[in-house]
Structures are given as C-alpha cells and as structure tokens.
Amino acid sequence: MFTGYGADFVSVNGVRYSRALVVLRDRIVSPWEPESFADIAAVHLASLAGLGCEIVLLGTGPVQRFPSPQIIRPLIEARAGIEVMSTPAACRTYNILVAEDRKVAAALVLR
C-alpha cells in the first residue's frame, strides 16, 4: 500500500522511493527504467503486459499526461486495462483497487 507521496517521492509500506518504480501486490520493481514521462516507451509498457494484471495504473508525474497510442499498444494487445493519471492519483487509486482484491500494477514516474 502507498503510505505517502510528495513532489519527488512515493512511500510504499513506509519505505520512501525517489525514482520511477512499479508496485505490485507481491513485489516492487525499483528502479523502473523510464526516469520521466518523456522517457516512457512501448518497451517499458511491454514489460508490464506479462504480469497478469487486469489493470495497469500509469502515473505520469505531478500532472496527468497521455502517452501516444503506439506507446500503450503492448498493454492493449495483452488485453490489460490501462488508466493514465497523475502519480498522486495513481497511488490513491492503487490502494483502493488492492483493497478490492483486484490484480493491479502501478507504474509510476515522478517527473
């Protein structure tokens, strides 16, 4: 569960992270390769397609920004849902979906 977030960090179960990461119920992938929204490429989302999640929350930093359709194509082809939102919103949404026992991943960049 996310226990905090700010302009340059997120906390998961009390542990602070200041780089991009992927949070799943059973593990954390940190660092995640893209450092910022501008760095996100299809290859990064393709690595998430095989996780068996029904939904991927893409946190795009302090504001919501939408990647091009080519970038999200790997998740669409894997029939995984994708929701794009600011990183703080993705943290809040992740906690709600985990509490509902949903198979969710939060892929977050901080800037």
Per the confidence metrics, is the pTM higher than 0.85?
Answer: yes
Spatial separation of the C-alpha atoms in residues 29 and 93, rounded to whole Å: 19
Calculate the CA dihedral of residues 42, 98, 18, 80 and round it to 10 degrees. 0
Q: Average pLDDT of the chain?
A: 96
Spatial separation of the C-alpha atoms in residues 38 and 55, rounded to whole Å: 22
CATH number of the domain within which 32 lies: 3.40.1230.10
Q: Which domain holds residue 16?
A: 2-109
Domain count, the chain: 1
E strand or H helix at 75: helix 69-77
Q: What pLDDT is recorded for position 83?
A: 97
**41-91 pLDDT tens trace:** 999 999 999 888 999 999 999 999 999 999 999 999 999 999 999 999 999
